[in-house]
């Protein structure tokens, strides 16, 4: 059974994950408008990942006899200067999510909730991967700044990404 504190914090994280999904969908809409289907695809895959992350928390709360309480999702940014700004915002966002996950880990340890601590280790590893992937694209975009041919090549590469729900694979 979850403590009230952990239940509250996990519910906050469910909301944060849905906000992240909405944020990525907004970026996908931005790239769609720029006629960059690969970037659009990459962001849509991120959207799907965030939904699966939210559902993993959702299911865990229920599994531990807690109650999921969904909250309204706050508005997200819809305009960016260019591709670099989008991925800079993405990188900063993933760093923020890493902080949220680390805070949950700390709370689980304080509450001596070893089951929640164990479940959160998947997210700790996931955030290392998320930050690394986003930073790689951000650095490539910075190298390409102003090179439209390179941007189109990267767009083609990002179009190959496919969603794989890894939340059930442990």
Cα separation, 21 vs 116, in Å, equals: 23
pLDDT value for 52:
97
Distance (Å, whole) CA 170 – CA 54: 16
Q: Is this structure's pTM higher than 0.85?
A: yes
pLDDT, residue 146, reads: 81
Q: What is the pLDDT along the chain (170 residues), one digit of tens a residue?
A: 899 999 999 999 999 999 999 999 999 999 999 999 999 999 999 999 999 999 999 999 999 999 999 999 999 999 999 999 999 999 999 999 999 999 999 999 999 999 999 999 999 999 999 999 999 999 999 999 889 999 999 999 999 989 988 887 65
Query: Encoding tokens for residue 66?
Result: 């807690």
Confidence at residue 115, expressed as pLDDT on a 0 to 100 scale: 97
Q: Tell which CATH classification among 1.10.3720.10, 3.40.50.970, 1.20.1260.10, 3.40.50.300 matches the domain 4-158.
A: 1.20.1260.10
Phi and psi torsions of 110, nearest 5°? -60, -40
Return the structure tokens found at 20. Answer: 């992240």
Nearest-Å Rg of the Cα atoms of the chain is 17
Domain locations along the chain: 4-158
- Residue identified by tokens 């260019």 is 82
> Rounded CA gap, 5 and 121, in Å?
19
* CA dist 37 → 22, 29, 34, 138, 160 (Å): 18, 10, 9, 17, 10
Residue 7 backbone dihedrals phi, psi, to 5 degrees: -55, -45
Contact 120, 105 (CB under 8 A): yes
């Amino acid at each position: 059974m979850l403590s009230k504190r952990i239940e509250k914090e996990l519910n906050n994280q469910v909301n944060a994950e849905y906000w992240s999904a909405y944020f990525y969908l907004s970026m996908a809409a931005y790239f769609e408008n720029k006629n960059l289907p690969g970037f659009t695809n990459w962001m849509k895959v991120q959207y799907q990942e965030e939904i699966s992350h939210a559902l993993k928390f959702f299911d865990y709360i229920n599994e531990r006899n807690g109650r999921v309480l969904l909250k309204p999702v706050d508005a997200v940014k819809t305009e960016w200067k260019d591709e670099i700004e989008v991925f800079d915002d993405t990188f900063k966002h993933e760093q923020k999510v890493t902080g949220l996950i680390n805070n949950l880990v700390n709370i689980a340890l304080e509450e001596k909730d070893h089951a929640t601590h164990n479940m959160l280790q998947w997210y700790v590893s996931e955030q290392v991967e998320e930050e690394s992937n986003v930073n790689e694209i951000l650095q490539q975009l910075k190298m390409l700044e102003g090179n439209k041919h390179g941007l189109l090549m990267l767009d083609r590469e990002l179009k190959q990404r496919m969603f794989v729900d890894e939340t059930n694979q442990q």
